Amino acid sequence: MSDYFIAGFIAFVIIYGLLKRCNCLSSFASGVKEGAATVVNMYVYILGFVFLIAVIENCGIVEDLERLRFSGVFSPILFVQMLLRPFSGSSSFAMMIEVYEKYGPDSFTGLLTTFIHTVTDSTIYITVFYFSAVGIKKYGKVIGIGLVINLIGFILSFLIVYFFL
């Protein structure tokens, strides 16, 4: 069914473009050029995020935090998830899946990782990427406010899961 919808939408766009007497092929090529330029500009940020995640995973911080034993209530992987969440939603999601596999989705840690992932946001990624895309250069205060809101979200997540679930 969705295949027909996609084909119908493409046909609708082409017919609409022809009725408006616009060169559909050159408009499409122009859009592809702009999209390719956007992808190239994003590459540096994406590479930086991948590097950051690889460093955190390979530096041994999770193993060191495991040795400290956070009184059995707070898993070190949640700490790493809280560090990664402002940078990357997909990394936070991967950590959440890892917690599900290790502790189970209905455990305290599984519920807390779900709250951490859904209540907070990828503040740094969103701010840097979208503000840069529209040319805004001064976004330091926005990042600070976003990180404070994320911190409040982390604290509320813990309190809600600990006291209510």
CA 85 to chain centre: 7
> For 68-112, how does the pLDDT look when each residue is reduced to its tens digit (9 = 90+)?
665 556 677 888 888 888 888 888 898 899 889 988 999 888 999
DSSP one-letter string for 61-124: HHHHHHHH--TTTS-HHHHHHHHHTTT-HHHHHHHHHHHHHHH-TTSHHHHHHHHHHHHS--HH
Name the token pair of 24. Answer: 């559909």
Is the model's pTM score more than 0.85?
Answer: no
Q: Which amino acid is at 2?
A: S
Q: What is the pLDDT of residues 119-155, one digit of tens each?
A: 988 888 888 778 877 778 888 888 889 999 999 999 9
